[in-house]
Structure 1
């Protein structure tokens, strides 16, 4: 979802705005907080309605992003060394005939040559192995957070499908059994149950997308408005038309942020919580990542049937 990706950008850009609660909350009495639940919403925080991508980004950020960033930096440095070594190897012409050596050897020799180039380019294989292992451990911890966070979504889908599977099989088995060869008929009940579960999981994630669009819209809108306020404060603008621009002393940031959230949710609703062409092509790799996360946590969270 677009709101999800905007929120990810603002988490990276203004993390202090996202994680620091407004100072004015300290002056609100417990009784006022109890009587006015909306006051608790002044401070955006991660909640169970986050979609998979933003939830994964927040989990990485909150569970050791500094360590993960260092590991990614090490991997990036080694990757740059490999790219440079590969470019130099592609330009080699040891026999001096004016044609690069890589263009004169068979595919099997080219593959062997490139493997040797990569192996020689990585100066410290142990460091690379440690960095990759650290990333894997980080991903496992993120998966644990996501499984807990989205357990209700998956359990809702599985529970609903259990009530419907019997009637689906009762209605469709007599119709489909004569259409299949004898060796495939034993698989028909399993296929019907699996398809039913898949349909309910799909609709459960669609409901989750609606909730996530609302939550991420409010979070991203508030981050944006507070980022604008901080930007203006640093340049000496403390008020506008008599209204303070310091977000600790005004509700202007909430008004602007939640207004943007409403506008963003309406746009997402009209777009079907997707991205129009050509942006959907640009964001296609992120869509693959989103569905991969959903598949992994759905596959690991759903109970065996």
Structure 2
């Protein structure tokens, strides 16, 4: 006998049902991916230009970047395996994922809280009146729509939706959220600007003209030099962006904690400020180096 269908007006959310093991694994995989990527960037920035005639990014950096991609792939696999839906019905909550269906009477829900570490992942924990937890955490980028739906049947949840952590996660998920295209612009295309400037300067200084290396040694070494400068600036910009992002997120969380009603404005200011520091700041530093 198939389970009863939810009411037509029952909100349905696509999220991830994380066990404690899955939540820990996701955090570890994501952390290792970030640390390995930063280590690869450090290797490129420190050991590419070491006085050799034809500098190239160290092979170790490529290996580390590949390992970082594997860790990120493992984290994505955890998400795929824990994909679920949540139906918020008047009398019950229904969580479904492949091979499993969990029904919880609304009357048995004692409390709902937002996860305390919003940088790793945003989500909700449900505590039952029996004193036990739901058994899985609800990982969702924006917790406010879920809290709003729960608040229709659990009045105490409405206060949770006004808490700073909920406002912080909502603003991060909805205000100037970067997509794949922006990441490509930021870390693939934009590094060609400072990289191209330094490459052209090196061609004049080392070989005496913009195409002298190509004329003397051929297309391969010429493109290899361009690739070296491009990868070097990708590495330096990754480190530079991380340098600004960490304190910016901490300040955004602190400001949101003081004024949760201004969370969207705080997030907008944070993202615009980081963009200005990244694009204009990096080019300004490059210009200052030329003028020094």
TM bucket by the smaller chain?
Answer: under 0.3
Greater relative contact order: 1 or 2 (C-alpha under 8 angstroms, separation 6 or more)? 1
Richer in helix (by share): 1
TM-score under structure 1 normalisation? 0.27
TM-score under structure 2 normalisation? 0.28
Larger Rg computed on CA atoms? 1
